[in-house]
Amino acid sequence: KLTFMVGGAEEEFTAAKELLSCMGANVVYCGQVGTGQDLGLAQNTATNTRTPVPLGSLAHQIYRMMCARGYANKDFSSVFQFLREEEGQ
C-alpha cells in the first residue's frame, strides 16, 4: 500500500488530497515545506553510521531495477506498473 507524506501549504495539500488518494492508500499532511528535513537528517545519520534502513534500501533497489529496464524517464505512475509486472513473473 502506497503512502504519501506531503509537505507544503495546507490549502494546496487539501486541493491535491483527492488525487493522491486515487493513487495511494494513505495521504498524510506533514506540515509546511522543509518539515521533511528531519527525515533527511535521520537518513544521513543512518548512512554515516552504516545502520540499515530496510525500506530505504528496498526503494533504492527497485529504483535501480527500473532504470536498468528502461523506466528511468517515466513518471511516478510507472512504479505501480513495474511492480505489477514483477508480481506476475
pLDDT, tens digit, 9 for 90 and up, residues 1-42: 788 888 889 999 999 999 999 998 888 888 887 766 666 667
- Single pTM value for the model: 0.43
Question: So what's the pLDDT on residue 35?
Answer: 65
| Long-range Cβ contact pairs of 24-29 (< 8 A, separation 24 or more) | 25/1, 26/1, 26/2, 27/3, 28/3, 28/4
Identify the CA nearest to 56 among candidates 66, 42, 67.
42
Q: What is the mean pLDDT of residues 33-55?
A: 71
CA distance 69 to 63: 10
Question: So what's the pLDDT on residue 50?
Answer: 78
